[in-house]
Chains A and B, each alone.
Chain A
């Protein structure tokens, strides 16, 4: 039953049709939407079985599981869309445990009136991202809400993965003396979203950095199995992630502004909008904390991977009962880098 074409006499009109309430009713219309749109693109042996769940064999060792909801506006932005983002984001959350992501689930909340062509473009992008990452979407769900109760489409994905033997990565493991690394420039995603928001007349060539980081992580844990913390600095940016880790590990951090890569266009856009790149969201970045002796080999390994070409050691973990993150500014002064207050920009992921 690879396609549902035979089951439904008239194919889904993807070109002109829109989502209506019947697509979430559990009846024939829903079955057709699933068969001719979701399974058509995401198709794999698990989905072809047509069950409400996916059954797969598990290996020994530790498994990790993570879930994330995606409500980004706009649905399509420079460098990605809600579909690819919903794969990358969850793959990354699983990978931040040092794990190899294996499977994804996807829940869709569709708003009545959403053009099927838009939905198809999103699902196709999701399928392409899943295929590129080698992590299939093996089960899913579709609901439809009345017009006005959603914003086109919301997606929730859940991922599972396995942690290689000997790897133990957690936000509470940073120790004074450890090195802090990042795999590249910060702020690209947030600025790309901002530039595509229609009420901001602002055009840049900046693309979101949205990417699946698990192959980079695999290379990193291979070189340095003793990595202590990994985290992707999404909402709240690098500043917030460092504060989270400092609080979880009961340590302080000293970072150097000059060592933190920021693309000139991002820097200029932030300047114009009064934003601080430290607080702007990323979707293809990771912060890594490791014993100081691992920093050299790790940096080399990261730089040899396409997603880590601009990797940099940005600072070190220090003893500090208050858990402050301090920064030596590029100007030569010092300041505390606090948590993000309020919101810089809503609905960025």
Chain B
């Protein structure tokens, strides 16, 4: 596969591994948080941790879109499908996310709700066009990467006068979440968790650019390297972070120059700004209420806002007792620290959201077996 295999070459990986091994200072611990689930997935799928020295540890962050979706919003989606009888379209992983009372969209579908998995907003628009008798709701989730297609869909629906289409907007913002993690008491006050540097998101940054990270690199004195999602990207970025730490620098550097620029995709940002605006606050699973961390549909397009079209009862659902997803999402705990992990919570029967998507830390741990005894696990617990 051209343009992909180049970033997965074993010979280059081994070369980089040697270089990293040469440059890390012995006696020093490097805790590097990858914000994005895409990085988490790459690290596990390709076995990148195996190629790192013992004192470099990947801390898995909250950047998995379905993992941070609060239960209340999934309950709302189920309510839309079951009680309001809408045709609910969404991305695949969302279907399995556990909601309140052990429900999920998948189970709602089995009960007769019209829930459909789509690969793009265009599929949802098509369903609305072809079925004027249906009320089609696109359950929009995700970080800045998936936001522009949602904005485009709203504009298209508006231009076509597609009155049986609306968007249940749950888009969230990356910089706000990173700042929230850095402000969390475990990191800021207690110092019980140390995060030395960040792998910056790759796809998200292709939209927003590298500039938004400059503030907190400076403010919190943490280096950030925007990293591509391929395993060699992760290794090269780890080397760049290690060099910054060794040299006492805390800058925003860009490893993913083949896609990301400082200002990102201006056209995409303009479309988003035309259709969506900041919410004052939004509830994140794991992080709690985060100010100015999510988007909603602007008044001009209120007609296509599901929250405007349907009455949604607030949900009082809470997370499953004992589930450590909130702490795992902040990097405070590891999946293996959770009592539910691998006992009652598995990918077949997820109790917490981190076990749902392959980008979730728990699912990645479980599926790729980093926790399963042997040298790897002892190395991690020693770290």
Question: Given A199-B123, A271-B1, are A335 and B347 neighbors across the interface (CB < 8 Å)?
Answer: no
List of B residues within 8 angstroms of A329 by Cβ: 45-47
Q: Answer yes or no: B312 CB below 8 A from chain A CBs.
A: no
Closest to B42 in A: A331
List of B residues within 8 angstroms of A274 by Cβ: 358
B13 touches A332 (CB 8 A): yes
Question: Given A322-B372, A338-B367, A341-B347, are A333 and B49 neighbors across the interface (CB < 8 Å)?
Answer: yes
B369 touches A336 (CB 8 A): yes
B372 touches A264 (CB 8 A): no
Binding site for B on A (CB under 8 A): 199-201, 264, 267-268, 271, 273-274, 276, 322, 324, 326, 329-336, 338, 341-342
Q: At the interface, is chain A mostly helix, strand, loop or mixed?
A: loop
The contact sample of 24 A-B pairs, CB cut-off 8 A, is: A199-B118, A199-B123, A200-B119, A268-B4, A273-B119, A326-B369, A330-B10, A331-B10, A331-B46, A331-B51, A331-B231, A332-B10, A332-B13, A332-B47, A333-B47, A333-B49, A333-B50, A334-B47, A334-B50, A335-B45, A336-B367, A336-B369, A341-B347, A341-B348
List of B residues within 8 angstroms of A200 by Cβ: 119
Q: Once bound together, how far apart are the Cα atoms of A118 and B244, in whole Å?
A: 66
B14 touches A332 (CB 8 A): yes
Interface bracket on B: 35 or more
Q: Once bound together, how far apart are the Cα atoms of A271 and B347, in whole Å?
A: 21
The total of Cβ contacts below 8 Å across the A-B interface reads 77
B44 touches A335 (CB 8 A): yes
Q: Identify A324's interface contact among B45, B47, B369, B370, CB under 8 A.
A: B369
Best-buried of B45, B48, B50, B369 by chain A (most CB within 10 Å): B369
List of A residues within 8 angstroms of B96 by Cβ: 342
Q: Once bound together, how far apart are the Cα atoms of A331 and B346, in whole Å?
A: 27
Q: Identify A342's interface contact among B118, B123, B347, B372, CB under 8 A.
A: B347
Q: Contact mask B1-34 → A, CB, 8 Å, 1/0?
A: 1001000111001100100000000000000000
Q: Answer yes or no: B256 CB below 8 A from chain A CBs.
A: no
A271 touches B372 (CB 8 A): no
List of A residues within 8 angstroms of B118 by Cβ: 199
Q: Once bound together, how far apart are the Cα atoms of A338 and B45, in whole Å?
A: 11
Q: How far is the CB of B346 from chain A (nearest CB, A)?
A: 8
Q: Answer yes or no: B35 CB below 8 A from chain A CBs.
A: no
List of A residues within 8 angstroms of B123 by Cβ: 199, 201
Question: Given A329-B47, A333-B47, A333-B48, are A338 and B369 neighbors across the interface (CB < 8 Å)?
Answer: yes
Q: Answer yes or no: B368 CB below 8 A from chain A CBs.
A: yes
Q: Answer yes or no: B366 CB below 8 A from chain A CBs.
A: yes
Q: How far is the CB of B167 from chain A (nearest CB, A)?
A: 19
Q: Once bound together, how far apart are the Cα atoms of A267 and B4, in whole Å?
A: 10
Q: Identify A338's interface contact among B8, B48, B366, CB under 8 A.
A: B366
